[in-house]
Structure 1
Amino acid sequence: MTPPFLFTPASAMTAIAGRTGIQRFEYMIRHGSMKAGLYAPQNRDEQGPHKQDELYVVVTGTGTFEKAGQTQTFGPGDLIFVEAGVEHRFTGFSDDFTCWAIFWGPDGGEA
């Protein structure tokens, strides 16, 4: 059987149903150094820096993103890049906030 290659926010939300807080995350795809999942935090974002470079693709909701002392508002369709090892978090986000989180590359990020 061929593994799936198309994932929807709805199918990912089914996978994280019943989870709370930072646990509202599920990897849907893994290939080589790349992994991607849906992140849907509730109330607050407690994550810290990651070992790999990361892209967020906002699916639903709005809020503010803080990265290395800078703050930017975001909304559906926005793409956010975070280098490996950099402090970042979502703040003041709406209850319906979801985003794809895509990690890739070596620990420490790419040059």
Structure 2
Amino acid sequence: MKVLSTLKEAMSAPLSAGRASALLMEHGSMTLRWYAPKGVDNQTPHDQDEIYIVASGSGIFFMDGERAAFGPGDALFAPAGAEHRFEDFTDDFGTWVVFYGPVGGE
């Protein structure tokens, strides 16, 4: 079982096939991914709950009609099925993404 993923590793990890993020770690229902969209965030709702931990950059997080400014070190939550995306983010934006729990959310 993998117990450490470094920021350097995350930033250079290849995208997973058919995904806009790189898989770094998994255990049970939990996956840790690296997400660093360029220009526009076109993601669609996911079937698990998610926590984003912003590593670099800043912008606006849109989630189900609400917007919140974010920056490095901030944590953001999106429940399963919720429309969400990053808007007006800087070129250096990158975030850890933790997917967890059952399909449909907790």
Residue in structure 2 matched with residue 46 of structure 1 by the alignment: 42
Is it true that 1:33 corresponds to 2:29 in the alignment?
yes
TM-score between both structures, scaled by the size of structure 1: 0.88
- Write the distance in 1 (CA, Å) between the matches of 2:93 and 2:42: 15
Task: Work out the CA distance in 2 between the residues paired with 1:63 and 1:55.
Answer: 16
1:12 is aligned, of 7, 10, 13, to 10
State the superposition RMSD in angstroms. Answer: 1.5
Per the alignment, in what secondary structure is the counterpart of residue 48 of structure 1?
Answer: coil
Unaligned 5+ runs, structure 1: none
Matches within 5 A, 1:1-111: 3-16=1-14, 24-110=20-106
Superposed structure 1 runs of 4+ greater than 3 Å apart = none
Residue type of the alignment partner of 1:67: M
Q: Distance in 1 between matches of 2:31 and 2:53?
A: 14
Offset at 1:23?
A: 5.1
Task: Work out which of the two has the higher radius of gyration on C-alpha atoms and give 1 or 2.
Answer: 1
What's the CA shift string for 1:13-52, capped at 9, x where partnerless?
A: 2213xx6xx9552010010000011101000101010000
Counterpart CA distance in 1 for 2:91 and 2:85 is 16
The alignment covers a number of residue pairs equal to: 104
The structure carrying a bigger helix percent of its residues is 1
Report deviation, 1:73. 0.4
In the alignment, the residues of structure 1 paired with residue 23 and residue 46 of structure 2 have an alpha-carbon distance, to the nearest angstrom, of 15
Q: Kindly, what percent of the aligned residue pairs are identical?
A: 46
After TM superposition, give the deviation of residue 12 of structure 1 in Å.
Answer: 1.4
Where do 5+ consecutive residues of structure 2 fail to align?
Answer: none
Distance in structure 2 (CA, Å) of the matches to 1:12 and 1:71? 26
